[in-house]
Amino acid sequence: MSPVQKYAIGAGAAVLLSLIFFQFSWITLLVILGVVAAPVVGYLMLDPSQRERLKRARRRGIGH
């Protein structure tokens, strides 16, 4: 199982648990935003050279 799949499963579990325990409250909304927005914001904070290095590492990781 790839690290991305593990992250997706964990994020889905966190969202489902917050929906079960908090029934569409502000806490659930914050959990969903944190799960979705945190990686995007982290990626956007990288310099262009760091983004390119990350892209190269991903390509190497998938066999190209």
Domain ranges (residues) in the chain: 3-61
pLDDT of residue 11: 84
Distances in Å between the Cα of 18 and the Cα atoms of 3, 22, 44, 62 are 23, 6, 27, 33
| CB neighbour list of residue 15: distance below 8 Å, 6 or more residues apart | 28, 31, 32, 35
Give 25-50 pLDDT, tens digit per residue: 888 888 888 887 888 888 899 999 99
With cut-offs at 50, 70 and 90, classify the pLDDT of residue 1. Answer: confident
Q: Looking at the predicted structure, is the pLDDT value of residue 64 above 70?
A: no
Q: Which two tokens stand for residue 51?
A: 């983004």
The answer to whether the beta carbons of residues 53 and 61 sit under 8 Å apart is no
The answer to whether the beta carbons of residues 51 and 45 sit under 8 Å apart is no
With cut-offs at 50, 70 and 90, classify the pLDDT of residue 4. Answer: confident
